[in-house]
Amino acid sequence: MTVGAEMHALVERMYPLCRSITGNGVRRTLEIVGEYLPLWTHEVPTGTQVLDWTVPREWNIAGAHITGPDGARVVDFADSNLHVVSYSVPVSATMSLAELREHLHTLPEQPSLIPYRTSYYAPDWGFCLAHETLDALPEGQYTVHIDSTVEDGHLTYAEYVVPGAVTDEVIVSCHVCHPSLANDNLAGIAVATFLARELAERSPYYTYRFLFVPGTIGSITWLARNAERINRIKHGLVLACAGDSGPLTYKRSRRGDAGIDRVMRYVLEESGREHSIVDFSPYGYDERQFCSPGFNLGVGCLTRTPYAAYPEYHTSADNPGFVSPDALADTLATCREAFAVLDRNRRYVNTSPYGEPQLGRRGLYDSLGGRSDAKQAQLALLWVLNLSDGDHTLLDVAERSGLPFDAVAAAAQALLGAGLLKE
Amino acid sequence: MTVGAEMHALVERMYPLCRSITGNGVRRTLEIVGEYLPLWTHEVPTGTQVLDWTVPREWNIAGAHITGPDGARVVDFADSNLHVVSYSVPVSATMSLAELREHLHTLPEQPSLIPYRTSYYAPDWGFCLAHETLDALPEGQYTVHIDSTVEDGHLTYAEYVVPGAVTDEVIVSCHVCHPSLANDNLAGIAVATFLARELAERSPYYTYRFLFVPGTIGSITWLARNAERINRIKHGLVLACAGDSGPLTYKRSRRGDAGIDRVMRYVLEESGREHSIVDFSPYGYDERQFCSPGFNLGVGCLTRTPYAAYPEYHTSADNPGFVSPDALADTLATCREAFAVLDRNRRYVNTSPYGEPQLGRRGLYDSLGGRSDAKQAQLALLWVLNLSDGDHTLLDVAERSGLPFDAVAAAAQALLGAGLLKE
Amino acid sequence: MTVGAEMHALVERMYPLCRSITGNGVRRTLEIVGEYLPLWTHEVPTGTQVLDWTVPREWNIAGAHITGPDGARVVDFADSNLHVVSYSVPVSATMSLAELREHLHTLPEQPSLIPYRTSYYAPDWGFCLAHETLDALPEGQYTVHIDSTVEDGHLTYAEYVVPGAVTDEVIVSCHVCHPSLANDNLAGIAVATFLARELAERSPYYTYRFLFVPGTIGSITWLARNAERINRIKHGLVLACAGDSGPLTYKRSRRGDAGIDRVMRYVLEESGREHSIVDFSPYGYDERQFCSPGFNLGVGCLTRTPYAAYPEYHTSADNPGFVSPDALADTLATCREAFAVLDRNRRYVNTSPYGEPQLGRRGLYDSLGGRSDAKQAQLALLWVLNLSDGDHTLLDVAERSGLPFDAVAAAAQALLGAGLLKE
């Protein structure tokens, strides 16, 4: 089974669960991820102050339906958990179609699809349904029933840490709050899970921290509870919409030229993959929080088709058939390649900066001079020595020299070994 | 009567007066402007040291003519005040045509036009006339008569101030020293006058100071007498050639990226007007003085066809027919639009910069999430919050977000009201 | 005899000598250059530590040949000094063709040319020959003889200094270590020699120091012995490949925007010469050493066809016929023009920076104002005054104003004379 197929199987397994920003759907999702990774799961009580926000009451739902004038169920939560507006308060009532319509949400321009709607912070209830279903409803009395609870409880999120050689961190964050929506964001969860597993098999330089958090309130909660860690976060990536068939899109951090921005651009361009790079904007996913002006972290967002830019977005058409094993595997490979650069992309200082050091007596240079076919490895040595002034990163060297990053990184290793570079 | 027609009427009324850098023509011009605005007029005595310069003696002229061999007046100041070189010393003499020619100025390539010439600082006299008139002069003896005075007196200029919420100032300057030349600069005087009237009806943030000054020596005199005010000048605009039919031209300040430079570019581009933006150069109008390296103020220059770039420039063809009500009105509207942006273009600081503040509980956010059609007003709130770090202006926000400045400014007002921004 | 022909004659005269990084060939070359310039020649003993390097033993050679199975000389150093790998240790031996081949270097793709090879730091011996000669060698026993010495001695280099008004220096460096190769670098030596002669006839502002040094080890030796002088080096130029028929190529310093980089770009563009400007890279000629990160001097490299970019490079085809008097003269003229700008390209401070100074009373301005044909000289005065704030150089003024550098420099002289500028 390819890694793409494994990730797709994980998406399919998580798909039926009814997630929201709190509740048992999130807990069950994290238990499944926990089968792949030893997650550290946190439960934060309702009412906890987190930055400018307060952890809300916990929402859970057992079932919901609308019964028509003829007694038949015309909408049933059992068919799709998108049918109920997330955080709907419990209700049991009979009303006319006109009254009911105030609580119904459809997509008139996509009449066969069920929309996804939430009302986290304004107590309300509602149903989402296909517009063509709505059109077919006869006049008459309808009974509605939502068997939900909105009660003091907890907000649930999880972390997984791959320890590195240094305590400086790279964070990878994905939102786990959406119900039956495959690309947004079970695909992101799957890619993060498999990326974490791969990194754990290596001994990375950075410490990599994976966050599985409800959108907005979850990342805000994590940030509020990790104030002392913020300064250690050097880079980060939000993963979302990671499995559709569109080309990759990297959205830059607010800084625009952070290390992760440089690395993602380099890797996407060098790889030859079709891709787009777009500027930061303060909407989308949890990069909004990491890139708020007080934090201003170097955190970008990698998607395939971005936030809200595909017609299946936030509808019942964002199902497991909308994501593919190949796309999931390609997103994972891109992350793998980017982190392979990021993890080696450091600044060094030439310890012999006055004139070129004599490479020949250190066995680092072809002794027979005068040949015009200078080799790439030798060029890389010269470039790394020349630009290692404490200001330039190895990626700067690769970009300025036109040499592959791998050749530059290998030259740096050789020079470190010869004592000609120091950190 | 449209505002354009009103401005054109003002141009026509000022046109016959014989202005120079001193004298009664300037005084009378400022009296006329004083009917529109309560001007504060200054009289600075001859001999006053102003920066590197000295206020010159005052020049006045009652009449002047050349009489030909047959006793007929071939050139008469009464026909056009351009006929006499400005600051001509008094003369009464008879001489041959050859001797007279040394004092005659024509435009051989524009043979029907009278040129405009001055000799402010080198005592001299002369006449300007159409080249075709010169060509028709027979040999013989000519008598010349210039009934002028060059005597100790005063340099006259005026100011008008629209007080603002702060004492930081925006200056608007126009030169009032040219005789019968309509576009250069009666048009600029008219636009400045009506712009000042409009601003006085509002309560602007900045204090707006309008300067009606003779070119070069006038602005130098003002600068010399207002040394303590210079640091309060945050922006400025020189208005000239404001009424011809050409497209608008904005000439940047010496800084090139001053606030006024950014605002003018934004407004000209957003408005869809045909326009040019050109770099600063140390010739043209009084921006030369405001942008001298010691002051280096953020003062640009707005014209239609710029300085010396139209064939009617500094000739008798620059008459009221050369300027139009529509062009005057368009220049005024451009200034109005630019100052509307400039006056609101400030830097704010997000008071809740760690993560996004919860807009919902402050009534600033649509409570029903999950909809893809995020509204412009909500985007503007997010952009202003994200970029309000004390570095970015609202214009920076508008340009980076692509949102209209008005939407951004409205968002800033809402956030100030909610305590989420501070100055 | 044109200066181009004189330089070409110098190239032809130096061509037969067998130069290397040490030895009598270098001494004899410097003696010839010494007939044109009073050189200061240095002899640095073998074993001297210079930066990360050690001055090597001195190499000299009296003769070398290979005798074939039939007793005929198949390769003879007397025919071309390229035939022996530079720094070949002495050898006298008989061996099979197969054994001999290990010590033979050819260019299979340029079968009629002798390559140039060196083995400075790895004791070895070898012959270079045309590939078609190699192909024609019959099987059999060969005797090889190299009558060379590699012994303690000296490294030889020379300097020539043109004293300037200030002790700040411009260095011009050329390598003198290549044997019979005309473009690389007898052409560079010839241009440097004639450039030095010309400069000595003027009284330049900067002190100009010409370095005639063996490549790499020579510039490193000079840098090691002149540590206290480094801070005085403001600009520099490495001259190489100065005589081929290709267009000029300027390679920027590591800084990329050093004074010499700006000047060379300006002069090459203004002159209308076909040319290329390329970024710094840490291979090529001695700019590698001057631009190592510890020194990071503003030293660029001027060539015609650059390092290793022509098929004759480092082969017997790089002979005096490959360089032309016209190309040598054009390179010299380019240097002359560039140094004429560089030598005057200073920053001044306007002593009357508040408003424009009154140029008229200082005789610097046309007194009759109002004319549209402002003259270039007057524009230059205004531009120099406006930008002389201690930050802008005269070249900045020329580039921003679009005025010729000569006009700008003349304006600066006039303003210095009037006390309106100071250094």
Q: What is the pLDDT of residues A95-154, one digit of tens each?
A: 999 999 999 999 999 999 999 999 999 999 999 999 999 999 999 999 999 999 999 999
Strand locations in B271-369 (E): 275-278, 299-303, 347-350
The class level of CATH for A3-56+154-344 reads alpha beta
**Chains touching chain A at 3 or more Cβ pairs under 8 angstroms?**
B, C
Taking contacts as CB-CB distances below 8 angstroms, the residues of chain A near B367 are 119, 121-122, 124
Q: What share of chain C is helix, strand, coil (3-state, %, to 5)?
A: 35, 25, 40
**Chains touching chain B at 3 or more Cβ pairs under 8 angstroms?**
A, C
Between chains, do A355 and C124 touch, taking CB under 8 Å as contact?
no
Cα–Cα distance for residue pair A138/A100, rounded to 1 Å: 12
Q: Which residue of B has its CA nearest to A314?
A: B370
Peptide bond just before A345 cis, omega within 30 deg:
no
Between chains, do B52 and C368 touch, taking CB under 8 Å as contact?
no
Which of A25, A19, A55 is CA-nearest to residue A221?
Answer: A55
Between chains, do B355 and A220 touch, taking CB under 8 Å as contact?
yes
Residue bearing tokens 């499944």 = A32
Phi and psi torsions of C415, nearest 5°: -70, -35
Strand locations in C122-281 (E): 127-128, 141-151, 154-162, 169-175, 207-213, 233-239, 248-251, 275-278
CATH of B58-151, one of 3.40.50.720, 3.40.50.880, 3.50.30.90, 3.40.50.300: 3.50.30.90
- Measure A280 CA to nearest chain C CA, in Å: 30
What pLDDT is recorded for position B365? 76
Residue B372 has pLDDT above 50, yes or no: no
Q: Which of A120, A279, A293 sits opposite B350 (nearest CB)?
A: A293
Q: Which H helix or E strand runs over B238?
A: strand B233-239
Which of B371, B306, C75 is CA-nearest to residue A126?
Answer: B371
- Quick one: average pLDDT of C144-149? 98
Q: Which of A117, A288, A293 sits opposite B368 (nearest CB)?
A: A117
Q: What is the pLDDT of residues C110-133, one digit of tens each?
A: 999 999 999 999 999 999 999 999
Interface probe with B: pick from C386, C399, C401, most Cβ of B within 10 Å: C386
Whether the CB-CB separation of C266 and C250 falls below 8 Å is answered with no
What pLDDT is recorded for position A367? 46
Cα–Cα distance for residue pair A215/A175, rounded to 1 Å: 5
Q: What is the pLDDT of residues B67-108, one digit of tens each?
A: 999 999 999 999 999 999 999 999 999 999 999 999 999 999
Whether the CB-CB separation of A326 and A247 falls below 8 Å is answered with no
User: CA angle, corner A11, sides to A8 and A14, nearest 5?
Assistant: 155
- Quick one: average pLDDT of B128-157? 98
> What is the average pLDDT value for chain B, to the nearest integer?
96
Between chains, do C356 and B220 touch, taking CB under 8 Å as contact?
yes
Which of B282, B394, B379, B302 is CA-nearest to residue B348?
Answer: B394
Cα–Cα distance for residue pair B26/A117, rounded to 1 Å: 71
| Interface size, chain B vs chain C, as Cβ–Cβ contacts under 8 Å | 86
Residue B368 has pLDDT above 50, yes or no: no
Between chains, do A372 and C223 touch, taking CB under 8 Å as contact?
no
- Measure A392 CA to nearest chain C CA, in Å: 11
Residue A372 or residue B263, greater confidence: B263
Q: Which of A53, A295, A313 sits opposite B358 (nearest CB)?
A: A53
CATH 3.40.630.10 placement within chain C: 3-56+154-344
What pLDDT is recorded for position B418? 96
pLDDT tier at A369, thresholds 50, 70, 90: very low
Q: Which two tokens stand for residue B103?
A: 């004092």
What pLDDT is recorded for position C374? 53
Residue C321 has pLDDT above 80, yes or no: yes
- Measure C238 CA to nearest chain A CA, in Å: 15
CATH 1.10.10.10 placement within chain A: 347-422
Which of C41, C375, C404, C28 is CA-nearest to residue C222?
Answer: C41
Q: Which residue of A has its CA nearest to B351?
A: A294
For chain A, give the percent of residues with pLDDT over 70.
Answer: 98
Whether the CB-CB separation of C421 and C352 falls below 8 Å is answered with no
Residue B416 has pLDDT above 90, yes or no: yes
Q: Which of A354, A369, A372 sits opposite C292 (nearest CB)?
A: A354
Between chains, do C124 and A368 touch, taking CB under 8 Å as contact?
yes
Burial class (CB in 10 A: 0-12, 13-18, 19+), B22: buried
- Please enumerate residues of C whose Cβ is less than 8 A from a Cβ of B: 350, 352-358, 360-361, 367-372, 374, 379, 382-383, 385-389, 400-401
Cα–Cα distance for residue pair A323/A4, rounded to 1 Å: 10
What pLDDT is recorded for position B374? 52
Cα–Cα distance for residue pair B179/B59, rounded to 1 Å: 13
> Between the CA of residue A410 and those of A72, B75, B274, what are the distances in Å?
70, 88, 55
Q: Which of B354, B369, B379 sits opposite A120 (nearest CB)?
A: B369
Q: Are strands B421-422 and B347-350 parallel, antiparallel or unpaired?
A: antiparallel
Between chains, do A370 and C118 touch, taking CB under 8 Å as contact?
yes
Contacts of C82 (CB under 8 A, 6+ apart): C114, C115, C116, C128, C179, C180, C181, C315, C316
Taking contacts as CB-CB distances below 8 angstroms, the residues of chain A near C86 are 370
Q: Which two tokens stand for residue C108?
A: 């299979």
Q: Which two tokens stand for residue A14?
A: 């998580």
Between chains, do C118 and A356 touch, taking CB under 8 Å as contact?
no
Taking contacts as CB-CB distances below 8 angstroms, the residues of chain C near A398 are none
Between chains, do C122 and A400 touch, taking CB under 8 Å as contact?
no
For residue B393, the one-letter residue type is T
Whether the CB-CB separation of C194 and C160 falls below 8 Å is answered with no
Q: Which residue of A has its CA nearest to C289?
A: A355
Between chains, do C372 and B291 touch, taking CB under 8 Å as contact?
no
What pLDDT is recorded for position B367? 46
Biggest distance spanned by C-alpha atoms of chain A: 95
Q: Which residue of A has its CA nearest to B349?
A: A293
Phi and psi torsions of A385, nearest 5°: -60, -45
Q: What is the pLDDT of residues A224-275, one digit of tens each?
A: 999 999 999 999 999 999 999 999 999 999 999 999 999 999 999 999 999 9
What pLDDT is recorded for position C116? 98
Residue B162 has pLDDT above 80, yes or no: yes
> Between the CA of residue A121 and those of A54, A125, B335, what are the distances in Å?
10, 12, 45
Whether the CB-CB separation of B224 and C358 falls below 8 Å is answered with no
CATH 3.50.30.90 placement within chain C: 58-151
Q: 3-state class of C135 per DSSP? A: helix
Which of A297, A302, A298 is CA-nearest to residue A333?
Answer: A302
Q: What is the pLDDT of residues C164-181, one digit of tens each?
A: 999 999 999 999 999 999
Q: What is the CATH number of domain A347-422?
A: 1.10.10.10
Cα–Cα distance for residue pair B122/A44, rounded to 1 Å: 86
Q: Are strands B248-251 and B275-278 parallel, antiparallel or unpaired?
A: parallel
Cα–Cα distance for residue pair A81/B222, rounded to 1 Å: 74
Between chains, do C223 and A374 touch, taking CB under 8 Å as contact?
no
- Quick one: average pLDDT of C60-79? 97
Cα–Cα distance for residue pair B75/B65, rounded to 1 Å: 5
Taking contacts as CB-CB distances below 8 angstroms, the residues of chain A near B383 are 281-282
Between chains, do A295 and B388 touch, taking CB under 8 Å as contact?
no
Q: Which two tokens stand for residue B129?
A: 């006339």
Residue C365 has pLDDT above 70, yes or no: yes
Interface confidence, given as ipTM, is 0.94
Which of A108, A106, A102 is CA-nearest to residue A124?
Answer: A102
> What is the average pLDDT value for chain A, to the nearest integer?
96
Taking contacts as CB-CB distances below 8 angstroms, the residues of chain B near C398 are none
**Chains touching chain C at 3 or more Cβ pairs under 8 angstroms?**
A, B
Q: Which residue of C has its CA nearest to A380?
A: C282
- Measure C395 CA to nearest chain B CA, in Å: 16
Whether the CB-CB separation of B284 and B343 falls below 8 Å is answered with no
Cα torsion B380, B382, B384, B388 to 10°: value is -170
pTM of the predicted protein model: 0.93
Burial class (CB in 10 A: 0-12, 13-18, 19+), A24: middle
Q: Which two tokens stand for residue B93?
A: 């003499």
> What is the average pLDDT value for chain C, to the nearest integer?
96
Q: Which two tokens stand for residue C200?
A: 């000595």
Q: Which residue of C has its CA nearest to A375?
A: C283
- Measure B382 CA to nearest chain C CA, in Å: 40
Between chains, do A355 and C53 touch, taking CB under 8 Å as contact?
yes
CA atoms within 13 A on the CB side of A218: 27
Peptide bond just before C319 cis, omega within 30 deg:
no
Q: Which residue of B has its CA nearest to C354?
A: B294
Residue C371 has pLDDT above 90, yes or no: no
How many of the other CB atoms lie within 10 Å of CB of B358? Answer: 18
- Please enumerate residues of B whose Cβ is less than 8 A from a Cβ of A: 350, 352-358, 360-361, 367-372, 374, 379, 382-383, 385-389, 400-401
Cα torsion A387, A389, A390, A392 to 10°: value is -20
Considering only CA atoms, give the Rg of chain A.
Answer: 26
